[in-house]
């Protein structure tokens, strides 16, 4: 099904409205133009809803419906955001200049976390997809499934201590934690995808002479791809939610570590600035994954 007009069933021409006859004009060009218009409309929609949201937020704080301890005004958060990205005096009037927060700019904290997430999620894919394929197609699934379910339900806060004891307080333990967050949804989605592979597609490739391994790579994997990508998106989301738990201990630089410290100091404005930065970074990452999905799985809903 296409993106916007799914349930009308008129899937071919995007946008849902029938284009007018246009004489000799190249219809591919026409389609491109319609797409651009649609993209613009979308952007408008998002901007409008964002502005609306900020306005509501501003009003709520302005009317003092919520105490600033919990919800500072947009202005205060913006100030915290700017301060965290610049060299600034430690307090008003002081001549001691500090760099950002905890000696790193906010964007440096973000980059540090992004690196950890990237490695953790990459490891999650490298382990989760083959493991999922294996578990979905062999008796290993029966054996390992309970352990997978065990691991994927453990609260990081309960076992992060063990990780630190084993892998130290450096990045290794943090990456492990992010990996352990990202890999189970990827593995679960892969297994579920494998179960949905059409029997006759497997049969077909076997009659063409595929070996066990070739069946996996030429049929099971591509046909599982949509679910793997959904799993990946969920996994990345999980990794983000775990970034604070991962960076509670020795997590500077790191946006999660910063948010935690700021929380401990009751600096809600900075906490919310961190939250928003995390949210936007996550949205951007997810957008990228969606483009990947569209490029890799053009046949979804068609066959």
Burial of 73 (0-12, 13-18, 19+ CB in 10 A): middle
Give yes or no for a contact between 284 and 278, defined as CB atoms under 8 angstroms apart.
no
Output 64 or 146, the one with its CB closest to another protein: 64
Kindly state whether residue 183 participates in binding its own copies, applying the rule CB under 8 A. Answer: no
SS3 26: coil
Residue 6 binds which entry of its own copies, another protein, none, CB below 5-8 Å type-dependent: its own copies
- β-partners of residue 101 are 104
Nearer to its own copies, 16 or 89 (CB): 16
Q: Which residues of 98-121 are buried (b: 16+ CB within 10 A; e: fewer)?
A: eebbbebbbebbbbbbbebbebbb
Which of another protein, its own copies, none is residue 130 near (CB under 5 to 8 Å by kind)? none
Select from another protein, its own copies, none the partner in contact with residue 103, using the beta carbon and a kind-dependent cut-off of 5 to 8 Å. another protein
Q: In angstroms, what is the minimal distance from the CB of 46 to its own copies? A: 6
Q: Closer CB to another protein, residue 70 or residue 291? A: 70
> Is 201 or 230 the residue whose CB approaches another protein more closely?
201
175 near 116, Cβ under 8 Å? yes
Q: How far is the CB of 137 from another protein (least distance, A)?
A: 14
Number of residues that bind its own copies (CB under 8 A): 91
Q: What sign for the dihedral angle of Cα 51, 56, 61, 62?
A: positive
Nearest to 277 by CA among 155, 125, 100, 52: 100
Among residue numbers 237 through 296, which ones bind its own copies (CB under 8 A)?
237-238, 240-245, 248, 256, 259-260, 263, 268, 271, 274-275, 278-280, 282-283, 286
Among 73, 115, 172, 192, binds its own copies (CB under 8 A): 192
CB 183 within 8 A of CB 238: no
| Residues of this chain, 113-132, that bind its own copies according to CB under 8 A | none
Q: Which is nearer to another protein, 115 or 192 (CB)?
A: 115
Do residues 41 and 33 lie in contact, with contact meaning Cβ atoms separated by under 8 Å? Answer: no
Residue 42 interacting entry, from another protein, its own copies, none, C-beta within 5 to 8 Å by type:
its own copies
Query: Which one of the spans 55-63, 84-92, 103-111, 140-148 is the region binding its own copies (CB under 8 A)?
Result: 140-148
User: Cβ 8 to another protein, closest distance in Å?
Assistant: 5
Look at residue 98 and give the partner it binds from another protein, its own copies, none, a contact being a CB closer than 5 to 8 Å depending on partner kind: another protein
Number of residues assigned to the chain: 303
Which residues share a beta bridge with 99? 87
**What residues form DSSP beta bridges with 104?**
101
């Amino acid at each position: 099904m296409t993106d916007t007009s799914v349930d009308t069933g008129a899937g071919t021409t995007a946008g849902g409205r029938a284009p007018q006859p246009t004489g000799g004009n190249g219809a591919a060009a026409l389609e491109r133009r319609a797409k651009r218009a649609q993209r613009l409309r979308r952007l408008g929609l998002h901007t409008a809803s964002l502005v609306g949201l900020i306005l509501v937020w501003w009003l709520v704080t302005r009317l003092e419906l919520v105490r600033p301890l919990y919800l500072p005004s947009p202005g205060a958060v913006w100030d915290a955001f700017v301060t965290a990205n610049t060299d600034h005096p430690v307090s008003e009037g002081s001549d001691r200049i500090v760099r950002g927060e905890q000696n790193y700019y906010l964007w440096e904290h973000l980059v540090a976390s992004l690196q950890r997430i990237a490695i953790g999620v990459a490891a999650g894919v490298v382990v989760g997809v083959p493991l999922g394929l294996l578990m979905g197609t062999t008796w290993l699934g029966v054996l390992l499934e309970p352990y997978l379910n065990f691991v994927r339900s453990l609260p990081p806060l309960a076992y992060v201590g063990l990780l630190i004891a084993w892998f130290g307080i450096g990045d290794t333990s943090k990456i492990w934690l992010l990996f352990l967050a990202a890999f189970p949804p990827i593995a679960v989605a892969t297994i579920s995808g494998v179960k949905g592979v059409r029997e006759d597609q497997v049969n077909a490739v076997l009659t063409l002479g595929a070996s066990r391994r070739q069946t996996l790579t030429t049929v099971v994997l591509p046909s599982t791809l949509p679910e793997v990508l959904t799993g990946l998106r969920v996994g990345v989301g999980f990794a983000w939610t775990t970034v604070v738990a991962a960076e509670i201990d020795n997590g500077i630089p790191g946006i999660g570590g910063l948010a935690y410290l700021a929380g401990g100091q009751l600096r809600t404005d900075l906490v919310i600035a961190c939250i928003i930065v995390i949210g936007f970074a996550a949205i951007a990452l997810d957008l990228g994954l969606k483009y990947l999905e569209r490029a890799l799985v053009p046949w979804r809903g068609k066959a």
